């Protein structure tokens, strides 16, 4: 562009007296922009991205705990109540549920593997100090699942739940 045309173009664009077709074009672009902004807001509301990136982070910041801990605490209270009944089937169910909570927690934390056993193999004592106890307790859970005649002592069940509780506390899930 030549230096002479540039001031003419600038004065044409910023002049208060625009031709009618330019005002119509301006209105069309404003409407299109509002439609795009509306679509972006709609997409943010309908997807979980906004929840994950803003609301969950804010909740974690304000409560000093990872997101979702309150759900785990509620489930954990249910497990404790099952154990207090003193019945063997309830104790077995408590161990199965505790194992499932640990599995879900490790899965959310990004530890790979199809099963909890595979996830536990990838853990070290640095990431979970009582890893060996958790592996033994997971074997008890496997015995409960695969052997219908497996007898579970109430004291053994209490120890297993205590081990799961310690593991979940170390993982900051409780």
- Both tokens assigned to 154: 């109430």
- Do residues 144 and 135 touch, judged by C-beta distance below 8 A? no
Whole-angstrom Cα distance, residue 174 to residue 166? 9
What is the Cα 87 distance to its own chain's centre?
34
Mean pLDDT lowest for which of 20-24, 98-102, 162-166, 169-173?
Answer: 20-24
Residues 36-56 have pLDDT tens digits of: 999 988 888 888 777 777 777
pLDDT score recorded for residue 2: 59
- The sign of the torsion formed by the CA atoms of 110, 115, 116, 118 equals negative
- CB atoms near residue 173 (< 10 Å): 23
Top pLDDT among 70 and 128 is at 128
d(CA 84, CA 154): 10
pLDDT digits (tens, 9 = 90+) for 82-136: 888 888 889 999 999 999 988 888 888 778 778 888 888 888 878 888 888 989 9
Cα–Cα distance between 102 and 169 in angstroms, integer?
10
- For the chain, give every domain's residue range: 19-63, 69-170
pTM here is 0.62
User: Is residue 63's pLDDT more than 70?
Assistant: no
User: What is the percent of the chain where pLDDT is above 70?
Assistant: 88
């Amino acid at each position: 562009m030549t230096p002479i045309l540039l001031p003419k173009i600038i004065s044409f664009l910023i002049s208060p007296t625009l031709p009618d077709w330019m005002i119509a074009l301006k209105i069309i672009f404003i409407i299109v922009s509002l439609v795009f902004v509306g679509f972006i807001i709609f997409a943010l509301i309908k997807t979980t991205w906004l929840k994950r990136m803003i609301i969950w982070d804010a909740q974690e910041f304000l409560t000093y705990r990872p997101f979702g801990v309150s759900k785990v605490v509620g489930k954990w209270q249910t497990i404790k109540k099952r154990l207090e009944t003193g019945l063997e089937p309830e104790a077995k169910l408590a161990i199965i549920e505790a194992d499932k909570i640990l599995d879900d927690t490790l899965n959310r934390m990004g530890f790979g593997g199809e099963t909890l056993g595979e996830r536990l193999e990838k853990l070290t004592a640095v990431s979970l100090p009582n890893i060996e106890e958790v592996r033994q307790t997971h074997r008890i859970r496997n015995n409960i699942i695969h052997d219908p005649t497996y007898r579970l002592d109430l004291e053994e069940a209490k120890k297993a739940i205590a081990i799961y509780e310690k593991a979940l506390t170390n993982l900051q899930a409780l």
